[in-house]
């Protein structure tokens, strides 16, 4: 999860931790603290007059994901929503209306520690999602 220089044993050339564009994208996500699509992020930056090319937005998000700083989640429309990796995410998602309700409880930390110790995998974050029907949708049928 940390991105200390210790973790970054680059081969030859030393590049800045994150480029300007990558930092801009990260800042937007930090201010938002709300999942946002790449397209929306792109438009937001245009309106702010700090335009970044759309392709670069996508590339930056990919880099930030690889750093474990950002996570994504695909919504009902099939677009990826990006957000900071701050807390793990737990949802109750209705198969009919698509609404996702966040949950509080996280019963998974323990397992995560176990897996972490198995040492063959470095866990950045996890996601737990329950699928079914919310009451209104269940009653419709």
CB of 106 to DNA, least distance (A): 26
Torsion of CA 121, 124, 61, 50, to 10 degrees: -150
Retrieve residue 95's tokens.
């198969």
- Residue 118 is classified by DSSP as T
Residue of 1, 20, 27, 109 that binds DNA (CB under 7 A): 20
Residue of 26, 29, 36, 38 that binds DNA (CB under 7 A): 38
CB 103, CB 138: distance < 8 Å: no
Residue of 43, 44, 68, 80 that binds DNA (CB under 7 A): 80
Q: Is 78 in the site for its own copies (CB under 8 A)?
A: yes
Residue 106 burial by CB count (10 A; 0-12/13-18/19+): exposed, middle or buried? Answer: middle
Q: Is 99 in the site for DNA (CB under 7 A)?
A: no
CB 26, CB 69: distance < 8 Å: yes
d(CA 83, CA 64): 10
Q: Is 86 in the site for DNA (CB under 7 A)?
A: no
List interacting residues with DNA (CB under 7 A). Answer: 13-16, 19-22, 37-39, 51-56, 58-60, 62, 74, 77-80
List interacting residues with its own copies (CB under 8 A). Answer: 8-9, 65-66, 68, 71, 74, 78, 92, 94-96, 101, 103, 105, 107-108, 110-112, 115, 119-135, 138, 141
């Amino acid at each position: 999860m940390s991105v200390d220089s210790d973790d970054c044993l680059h081969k030859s050339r030393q590049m800045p931790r994150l480029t300007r564009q990558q930092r801009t994208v990260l800042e937007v996500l930090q201010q938002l603290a709300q999942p946002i699509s790449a397209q929306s992020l792109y438009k937001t930056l245009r309106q702010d007059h700090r335009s970044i090319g759309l392709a670069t937005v996508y590339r930056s998000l990919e880099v930030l994901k690889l750093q474990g700083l950002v996570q994504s989640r695909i919504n009902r429309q099939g677009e990826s929503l990006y957000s900071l990796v701050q807390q793990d995410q737990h949802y109750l998602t209705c198969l009919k209306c698509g609404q996702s309700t966040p949950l509080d409880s996280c019963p998974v930390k323990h397992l995560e520690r176990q897996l972490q110790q198995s040492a063959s995998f470095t866990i950045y974050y996890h996601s737990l999602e329950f699928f079914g029907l919310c009451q209104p949708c269940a009653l419709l049928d």
